[in-house]
Structure 1
């Protein structure tokens, strides 16, 4: 939004002002308040954000809440004569002093002032000036930028033609040159390798890979590493993490009883799909409608488990239809956010207040997911088979079709999937969204302002809905996905509000780049690995993250990417890094979820007191050292360590994790048994090597921080090691108790004092900020 207030031009307002100016190739003018105002005021980038924030609640799409029968979200409504005075108009093109909108927002009479004082909303002086200038310039309305199909524009002209590595860099550099900012130098090879290794596999580069890359001085050395990482079997796991958030995957049903759910074979499929580089159109179609495609098989049907990952009640006494409606609601809301980046849920009870989604549109989309023969309550808390519709996966199925599933025993696995029944029910619009307040019957349809659902082109079922998403005229699908991949790599999307491309969402920082990526992705076969490679081989991505004062002052949030951002590793990746760098990681792909170390009593305190998940039963052996993606997620009591690092509880679709910094995270790194055990295991390995103390410390440093320590760092670590040797020499009992952690079998170490000191130093390195930061 255009964030101009009495304190002056806020950073994001400056961004938008420059964005519009540079994209339109217009100069700026400065008003008396020293605030930059574009010579040409743009409706999408200047006016709509103001109207959406301050006016649409009463004069927007929601007919039930509309005041004075006045719409300001459409040109027709804004230019029409006022209902109670046909000689006056809300907006008169070119004449602000004859436009009621301008007169009312500028009125000194509180009874006439808009927004009314009772709303606690107020336009700033600069917002009023923008509206006046826009009306004076003709009051041009434009469709919302996200509802216009993307077009691939020519690459912008730039001065520095040596810097770009691919097309992405032209768009980034064009903005930077307009801002008068320069790009950072390329990151050094060690930090670049760590960055790309975590981005593509979620794991640190091995010392062998570090050595190989550092010794390769060929021009294509970096691209070779990228290709190697894209082929790595752990690539699919890293890519799947964000999709499990989107799909609200969990291992329990949710609600109070929160019984066991078996959907992990679907998770195995997601990992497999990313590793095999299934095109996004296939990935999307199979998950929405794999049961309806021609030549369907068990794999395509399994993929539809995406639609059944929602919460399900197992509590007696519930109203069956009420909860069945909740399940379909969840699928509809997830569809809107996951594939369209829109807040569909806002239209369940009334017309959307900001976006062109009516309540009828909502339930017409709802209809696609409403034909499943399911119940609101089925089975018991410990049911051994999934709620129908479901499929049963046997060993024979795995041998013949589902070869990617990591099944541990011979017991068949039952998984919830989708299946439509013809004529099972009519879908009604529900008044106020209540399950028992049925109104008119609705047909299959989608919001028309996005793209009309043409029944002559699209089947009237979920398969037709998937094809509607993938139509070249659909403005959102490809934009939303490439933005989310950009977000996964840079920590922030080109559209920051990756779950809201609507009127209330943030404007894109680089609209031309977003459209270019969207069209390029679609026109090149929806190839996900190609998209990822394009991004990570750009000069933009390869920049160092060094911050200089000028850039920090002019672009504090780094939204123009004059440097590479620094971001903390995700919750799962923090765990994976500790396990991998210490040598503890169990690299097994797929299979049932596991229960690693967890504080006692958490499940018991949150459970209803019955069922298999009443008590947390920790796993042992190799299962303790599986990757974070396989950690068992009980919705009513999510894994506490993961939660500390901002993991999703998976109770609903989530497309962007917030990143917090709290003291609890430091306490986790200091006290988590996994981190302590990893420190012990790595110390055991190093203490047995035929090397001196400094060499051991250097190797630990490389394994954990993925770079050679500087001389001063080595001296500091050596000094600390010697201090710990002295301390443990005087406190031998503490040395013995300190290393007694974790279930991994301990080796017999002769010099227990040096071993304890080395473990302490390694544990300290794990607690360095740089360790869990991608920079």
Structure 2
């Protein structure tokens, strides 16, 4: 890929026409920048790259600008036109991108020859007059040195973060002597490979100073160690030169405004208008001479609502209650009942966990280490949805919970304070391999930051912000500068030069063990942990005591036996000697000890050889102690993100490479989503706070009622999960390359409604699900399909297949083996001998899929088969595949067959042995309805035939006696039901 083709945005050409004599022939002398090149570049490229315009961070209107290069790096390499990006894009014709009035071949030749001859200027060489400053050196020192000589630690009293600090030096004297690199300790230590200390490179995730970096430092000091005042690039009250008002005119970058609800006249019974959602939809349908499909029956509706809101089938008791409710608001009340279910948070929390990239392991490395505390964030999300936590508060806590209240000085940690910290786990879900010293360099650290910004951009903003990491966004008006302003927002917590490893590491030094976890838990949880730990410690002590008592008894027997072989006159003195501590023995006892103690005392090793039962007891005890130790609860911590204050500077990384730093940038947000004249208002969240307040400012900006995207993106996701297609189909791309809204007025009406309803997600469910549109049948009408084959106008409800968790949880539910215990550490998974991955049975069965350990390298096979994503770093929309392995798994997997047997046993317990009743009960449990006459007839015939076949099959031999043929036939019938489309698809 040619970088500048994607890096330098559009170069609009000026209408200036150069004189023929200048443009047509090669210059008779070596070209000079000021007289021969500058006028050409300004004429051809100036509208985008001169006169204050710096698209792609490139200024071609000054020598300093050309020296500085673009966001892709150097554009001119003196003497090497083949390595100069300016020549590359002009020669290939990719710039100007519109191809209008490009430079002539002779002009391109002039630029090429100028570079080939050394890119001469009036001052001589291209670099003549260019002065290295501290900004050329500091990025090197921050990368290689400040971990030991920075804000957290200053070994030898040396701070290398500023020129002034280097002049002051440390215990050994000044680090630099301007103009005298040979007398500068910094140069000497680096040259002699004393610094960074080789033995600490791995521990601190740094690498030796490279030759080019060393030369830059040496040249800077040699030239006088120049210092310039630098102001980070931040938004100001003046117009933004990189983003225009025209850029902001795009529909998604304008605040949503609540439109008038359209008036729709209809005489069709199906085209009933329950709420404004229907008015907006029917207006579009009417233009195509289409209308709604008929209303679905109640059994279809309750199944649809139950799965949509809880991810579980409704109980037959639920179905009967709804069928028997003849009140006008029966449907609305049924929706409210499922919204009130605690299973609602498990269903809708899972959607959010996909966006966050939730996982119980770190990823990156093959070891895929476990995250022991990640589950707290999962539980926080489930509770937040169950409690209908306002979406604006939900975002505030997740993005900046640590800055909402002072947790550092709190005498007690309240549940709300703990929630604030746990919520920041939203920004701790990205794969993070920096727990290993080997892969804990700036590169790997920056990858974590990149992924978290990607999560924020795709989940909350609905923009492909990550495309601006290496260069300005190719399609959306997001300069690379704005990407690094977001990096600066996170710098107070995610400082790549001052890093914390992802987890607490017991037994290591304080600096290495700290980890990015917090101990700030409520008193109740701390007490719960102490009680649980004490209980296991008590079991371990009791287990060890049994062995110790046996050992003492055997040793005592040995001693008495040996004493019996010695003269009686010595026995009492020897017993007294053995009972006296060694340090307190007198001279006689020391003599007796030296002469007789080895004979009288038997070692544990000797006891094992002498006594087989003691050897066995030792083995059993040690194994049990290991088992109990493994069950010991992990020291409770919160996997949180918090601002540590005093962040390092943020430099723009050209091409996204840390070793190609550009200019400094300060915290900020994408300019296109602002008016371009409002500074980013970050300040410490409370007086005396050791926190930057940057993420809090970001969070408050996001939940501003006039934010163009926050509400739109969320209501679009909710609509997608109910109707199978977003109003904007590209759920996480509301930019120029995303799809336009199918119903823009409806999208904005829903966005404003969410805000007006105090950001209540449950209220938005009510609006969507109570609409007539949601209550339609899914049957296809050929005439409507001919007009709108993809159902974009929603003339019917779509048929949806269960997603991975719902498939597994529903099978467990109908089998009666679903343990609905909520919350807490995840249930482990095991790799079976056949290679399949399954979760362990817990309590009364198996818990819901959301409570299984989500380990990136060991995903439960049934969930992975049905498209559970791996989270790298997150999942904005799951694939919906139909592959043979899905049907094969449901048909052949041993666990599925076991659950089919349990399903059949449940049917027999509930309905008895009458086949007619068994078929009815099977349908009630699996399909949430009664069978029709044809289904009864087919079912009875199937059970009869299956019973006959099982009677002919000899019974298996084994621990479990074979079931009667009729029961085995019923199990096969139940197995068939859970393989049916009626079970796997939600109508």
TM-score (norm 1): 0.77
**Could you tell me which residue of structure 2 aligns to residue 641 of structure 1?**
862
Q: Partner residue of 1:170? A: 279
For the pair 1:299 / 2:419, whether they are aligned, the reply is yes
Residue 248 of structure 2 contacts residue 254 of structure 2 at CA under 8 Å; is this kept in 1?
no
Match of 1:713 in 2: 935
Q: Which moved more, 1:675-684 or 1:578-587?
A: 675-684
Q: Report the secondary structure of 1:415's partner residue.
A: coil
The answer to whether structure 1 residue 682 and structure 2 residue 922 are counterparts is: no
Q: Residue 397 and residue 356 in structure 1: after superposition, are their counterparts in 2 closer, same or farther (change >3 A)?
A: farther
Report if the CA contact (8 A) 2:10-2:98 is conserved: no
CA contact (8 A) 1:393 1:412 kept: no
Q: In structure 2, list runs of 5 or more residues that go unmatched.
A: 16-41, 47-92, 100-245, 408-416, 530-534, 536-630, 684-692
Shift of 1:601: 6.5
Q: 1:311, 1:437 → 2: CA distance? A: 24
What is the distance in 2 between the residues matched to 1:669 and 1:115?
55
Which position in structure 1 is the counterpart of 2:879? 658
Between the aligned partners of 2:930 and 2:922, the Cα distance in structure 1 is 10
Of 517-526 and 626-635, the range deviating more from structure 2: 626-635
For residues 66 and 698 of structure 1, the distance between their equivalents in structure 2, rounded to whole angstroms, comes to 68
| Structure 1 equivalent of residue 745 of structure 2 | 512
Counterpart in the other structure of 2:780: 547
1:204 aligned onto 2:313: yes
Partners of 1:259 and 1:382 within 8 A in 2: no
Match of residue 309, structure 1, among 405, 429, 434: 429
Matched, 1:345 2:495: no
The answer to whether residue 553 in structure 2 is matched with residue 443 in structure 1 is no
- Equivalent residue number for residue 758 of structure 1: 970
Q: Distance in 2 between matches of 1:457 and 1:170?
A: 41
Please state how far the C-alpha of 1:504 moved relative to its aligned partner: 0.4
Partners in 1 of 2:247 and 2:492 — Cα distance? Answer: 40
Cα distance 1:180–1:233, how it changes in 2: closer, same or farther (>3 A)? same
The CA deviation at 1:317 is 2.2
Query: CA separation in 2, counterparts of 1:463 and 1:70?
Result: 44
C-alpha distance in 1 between matches for 2:423 and 2:657: 31
- Maintained 8 Å contact 1:344/1:362: yes
Q: Deviations over 1:596-648 (max 9, x none)?
A: 57543659xxxxxxxxxxxx795234385111112222213322221211111
Give yes or no for the alignment of 1:216 onto 2:322. no
Q: Is the 8 A contact 2:650 2:665 kept in 1?
A: yes
Alignment of 1:261-340 (within 5 A): 261-262=371-372, 263-294=374-405, 297-313=417-433, 314-340=435-461
Corresponding residue of 1:470: 703
**Aligned residue for 2:162?**
none
Kept in 2, the 8 Å contact 1:255–1:636? The answer is no
Verify: 1:144 aligned to 2:250, yes or no: yes
CA-to-partner distance for each residue in 1:665-701, whole Å, 9 max, x for gaps? 1112112334222211121122244351111111111
Partner residue in 2 for 1:538: 771
Q: How does 1:346-425 map to 2 (within 5 A)?
A: 346-372=467-493, 378=501, 388-392=515-519, 396-398=523-525, 411-425=634-648
Residue aligned with 1:676, SS: helix
Give the corresponding residue for 2:649. Answer: 426
SS at match of 2:667: coil
Residue number among 744, 749, 754 corresponding to 1:521 in the alignment: 754
Structure-2 change in CA distance of 1:302 and 1:319 (3 Å): closer
Q: Measure the CA separation in 2 of the matches of 1:150 and 1:171.
A: 16
Residues 593 and 630 in structure 1, CA contact (< 8 A), matched pair in contact too = yes
Moved more, 319-328 or 568-577: 319-328
CA 378–328 in structure 1, closer or farther in 2 if over 3 Å, else same: same
* TM-aligned CA distance change 1:673 to 1:632, over 3 Å: farther
Q: CA 1:318/1:359 → structure 2, altered by over 3 Å: closer, same or farther?
A: same
Distance change >3 Å, CA 520–CA 772, structure 1 → 2: same
Question: Which structure 2 residues correspond to residues 95-174 of structure 1 after superposition, within 5 A?
Answer: 143-160=249-266, 163-174=272-283
The aligned residue for residue 719 of structure 2 is 486
1:207-259 alpha-carbon deviations (Å, 9 max, x no partner): 00111111111111111111111111101000111111111011110012210
Q: Distance in 2 between matches of 1:233 and 1:70?
A: 64
Change (3 A) 1:384 1:717: farther
Alpha-carbon spacing, 1:485–1:441, altered in 2? closer, same or farther (3 Å): same
Any idea what the Cα deviations from partners look like across 1:257-308, whole Å, max 9, x if unmatched?
2101120011011101111110001100000000001366121111101111
Match of 2:370 among 260, 274, 284: 260
Once the two structures are superposed, what CA deviation does each residue of 1:332-364 show, in whole Å capped at 9, x if it has no partner? 111111111000110000000000100000000
Task: Show the counterpart of 1:731.
Answer: 953
Residue pairs, 1:61-80, within 5 angstroms: 64-66=8-10, 69=13
Structure 2 distance, partners of 1:232, 1:189, is 20
CA shift digits 1:160-184 (9 cap, x unpaired):
2770111111001111111111211
- In the TM superposition, residue 67 of structure 1 has moved relative to its aligned partner by 5.1
Which runs of no fewer than 5 residues in structure 1 stay unpaired? 1-56, 72-81, 87-109, 117-139, 604-615, 741-745
Displacement of 1:327 after TM fit? Answer: 1.2
For the residue of structure 2 that corresponds to 1:428, the secondary structure is strand
Alignment equivalent of 1:580, drawn from 795, 808, 813:
813
Alpha-carbon distance change, 617 to 563 in structure 1, aligned in 2, over 3 angstroms: closer
Deviations 1:106-144 (A, max 9, x none): xxxx9999989xxxxxxxxxxxxxxxxxxxxxxx99821
Aligned residues: CA RMSD:
3.3
Larger-Rg structure: 2
Distance 1:379 1:535 in 2: 41
Residue 179 of structure 2 corresponds to none
SS of equivalent to 1:505: coil
Q: Deviations over 1:649-673 (max 9, x none)?
A: 1121222112111111111211233
The total of aligned residue pairs comes to 637
